[in-house]
Chain A
Amino acid sequence: MMEDLSNYPLELTGDNVPMVRFLKVTKRYGDLVVLDQLDLDVAEGEMVTIIGPSGSGKTTVLRMLMTLETINEGVIYVDGKPLTHMEKNGKLVPADRKYLRKARSQIGMCFQHFNLFPHMTALENCMEGPVQVLGMKKAEARERAEELLELVGMSDKRDQHPSRLSGGQQQRVAIARALAMRPKVMLFDEVTSALDPEVIGEVTNVIRSLVEKHNLTMLMVTHQMGFAKDISDRVCFFFDGKIEEQGAPEDLFGNPQKERTQQFLSAVKEAD
């Protein structure tokens, strides 16, 4: 049965259109409700961090935004336009593949396990999207890729294949690869979780510099509470597919209101 979407706007208008809006988004796997009527806005240029216990739906939020997962209910908007749906005869209908391909080009994602293309050098990894998808000239794509590798401090390794790079280096290339598509929104899913402790800093420093110097909208899932506190504009604590509590990092970490938040944060602190 088709969901009735008549209550959802065809596009978002007005003064404060958020860069990302989840509007009553539900995601189920079979009987398991992973996201439950989720509402979440991210403003342009905002860095929002998602924290929460394992299995609370954090990754799913990012994957839905990357359209890697289908949506069961609700609509996600990016830059005011529907992402998961498209307009047809004045109504919203689930987006077809062509629409999705265009729509998701506004989103860039970095994965826990980097997922660099192993048969391409660092530079080629960063040129692949611009050349193959954006139809950019090779010379131009190379220039952009070189700039971005410089930005993440990987210029000297640009001709290396991923297998020759450490985890931290691979993740930095992966960030450059995603940025090469000039996304409006960047997603980071536990990008430091698979890294050795001593190289986590090189990746977090790159993200930090993106926050400081670039007006990118970012959504990040992390277990590094210190880092989240440092760089986030807002922190969302997820529990059971819902936002249990959210706020500025100093409030959420300094003075959590909900019991579950307090429990989670003290458990994390103990583990550290």
Chain B
Amino acid sequence: MSYIEFLKEYGPRFWDGTLVTAGQFFLASALAIVIALIAGLMKLSRNGLIRGIAVVYIEIFRGTSLLVQLYWIFFVLPLFGLTLPKFTAGFVAVGMNLGAYGAELVRGGIQSVPKGQWEAAYALSMSPMRRMWRIILPQAFVNMLPPWGNLLIELLKNTALVALISVSDLMFEAKQINGSTFLSAQTFGTALIIYYVFARFIVTPFMRWLELVMRRKLGRA
């Protein structure tokens, strides 16, 4: 079977898998961003308890393997009465894991905003919430974008693990195709290329574009 014939035969299944991977990626990214923001802000709180909760969360999710976390969420949580569909369990695990890494980026981004910005906002009598939301976060966001680009690519690669709980993503389809055809080079070569194209030609350019837009907003570009 030529590679063209292979693609003709299995292309649609690769495509279906890619769509599921894209879904995992976007939902996990959204969750990771929300968690990172909340945990990052909590880590900067004056309140020791709030800070402590964030530290514990970050430590657990960064300090243990994503695969184990995935299995916990999919296989162990049901024992405590919380059963998630495998698609949901997949992006929740990936999102929670990368969110813990993202929290450190958020904390660092916020701390990288010069003290003078806090003081100027304070001198205008802005409330702490407004100060954070209107003055500090927009600037922190721009500083954070390059590392977030890397983190999201990491996240994309990690979504391949959800195949292990039978979410029919790209990796899962590839394994199935390989199982029936034994054309390992073609199968995993195709999967490799799709992951690469997704990362390099969609995620990276999008992050670059976002950075440019934000820098322009800051008048830096």
Please indicate whether A and B come from the same complex rather than being unrelated chains: yes
The answer to whether A128 touches B124, judged by C-beta atoms less than 8 angstroms apart, is yes
Q: How far is the CB of A88 from chain B (nearest CB, A)?
A: 21
Indicate if A201 sits at the interface (CB-CB under 8 A): no
Q: Which residue of A lies closest to B120 (CB)?
A: A115
Knowing A132-B130, A163-B220, the reply to whether A117 touches B120 (Cβ < 8 A) is yes
Give which listed residue, A102, A161, A178, contacts B123 with CB less than 8 A. A178
Knowing A111-B119, A115-B117, A119-B139, the reply to whether A162 touches B124 (Cβ < 8 A) is no
Interface string of A153-164 (1 = CB under 8 A from B): 000000011111
**Cα distance A264–B127 in the bound complex, in angstroms:** 41
Q: How far is the CB of B31 from chain A (nearest CB, A)?
A: 26
Q: How far is the CB of A270 from chain B (nearest CB, A)?
A: 32
Q: Which of B116, B121, B219 has the most CB of A within 10 A?
A: B219
Indicate if B157 sits at the interface (CB-CB under 8 A): no
Indicate if A38 sits at the interface (CB-CB under 8 A): no
**Cα distance A160–B217 in the bound complex, in angstroms:** 11
Q: Which residue of A lies closest to B125 (CB)?
A: A105
The answer to whether B119 touches A104, judged by C-beta atoms less than 8 angstroms apart, is no
Interfacial residues of chain B within 116-160, with CB under 8 A of chain A in the complex:
116-117, 119-128, 130, 134-135, 138-139, 142
The answer to whether B126 touches A133, judged by C-beta atoms less than 8 angstroms apart, is yes
**Cα distance A128–B130 in the bound complex, in angstroms:** 10
Indicate if B192 sits at the interface (CB-CB under 8 A): no
Q: Which residue of B lies closest to A180 (CB)?
A: B124
Q: Is the interface of A mostly helix, strand, loop or mixed?
A: mixed
Give which listed residue, B116, B127, B142, B219, contacts A111 with CB less than 8 A. B116
Indicate if A107 sits at the interface (CB-CB under 8 A): yes
The answer to whether A119 touches B218, judged by C-beta atoms less than 8 angstroms apart, is yes
The answer to whether B219 touches A118, judged by C-beta atoms less than 8 angstroms apart, is yes
The answer to whether A133 touches B125, judged by C-beta atoms less than 8 angstroms apart, is yes
The answer to whether A160 touches B219, judged by C-beta atoms less than 8 angstroms apart, is yes
Q: Which residue of A lies closest to B221 (CB)?
A: A163
**Cα distance A129–B124 in the bound complex, in angstroms:** 6
The answer to whether A129 touches B219, judged by C-beta atoms less than 8 angstroms apart, is no
Interfacial residues of chain A within 98-134, with CB under 8 A of chain B in the complex:
101-102, 104-105, 107-109, 111, 113, 115-119, 121, 128-129, 132-133
Residues of A within 8 A of B123 (CB): 66, 68, 104, 107-109, 178
Q: How far is the CB of A8 from chain B (nearest CB, A)?
A: 24
Indicate if A265 sits at the interface (CB-CB under 8 A): no
**Cα distance A257–B47 in the bound complex, in angstroms:** 52
**Cα distance A159–B124 in the bound complex, in angstroms:** 21
Interfacial residues of chain A within 142-170, with CB under 8 A of chain B in the complex:
160-164
Knowing A68-B122, A111-B119, A162-B219, the reply to whether A119 touches B127 (Cβ < 8 A) is no
The answer to whether B219 touches A117, judged by C-beta atoms less than 8 angstroms apart, is no
Indicate if A92 sits at the interface (CB-CB under 8 A): no
The answer to whether B126 touches A129, judged by C-beta atoms less than 8 angstroms apart, is yes
Known: A115-B116, A132-B130, A163-B220. 7 other contacts (CB 8 A): A68-B122, A104-B123, A117-B117, A119-B138, A128-B126, A129-B124, A133-B127
23 A-B pairs whose Cβ atoms sit less than 8 Å apart in the complex: A66-B122, A68-B123, A101-B125, A102-B125, A104-B125, A107-B123, A115-B117, A116-B120, A117-B135, A118-B139, A118-B220, A119-B139, A119-B218, A128-B124, A128-B126, A128-B135, A133-B125, A133-B126, A160-B219, A163-B218, A174-B120, A177-B124, A181-B124
- Interface set of A (CB-CB < 8 Å, partner B): 66, 68, 97, 101-102, 104-105, 107-109, 111, 113, 115-119, 121, 128-129, 132-133, 160-164, 174, 177-178, 181
- Interface set of B (CB-CB < 8 Å, partner A): 114, 116-117, 119-128, 130, 134-135, 138-139, 142, 217-220
Ranked 7 nearest A-B pairs via Cβ: A161-B219, A115-B120, A115-B116, A129-B124, A105-B125, A163-B219, A109-B123
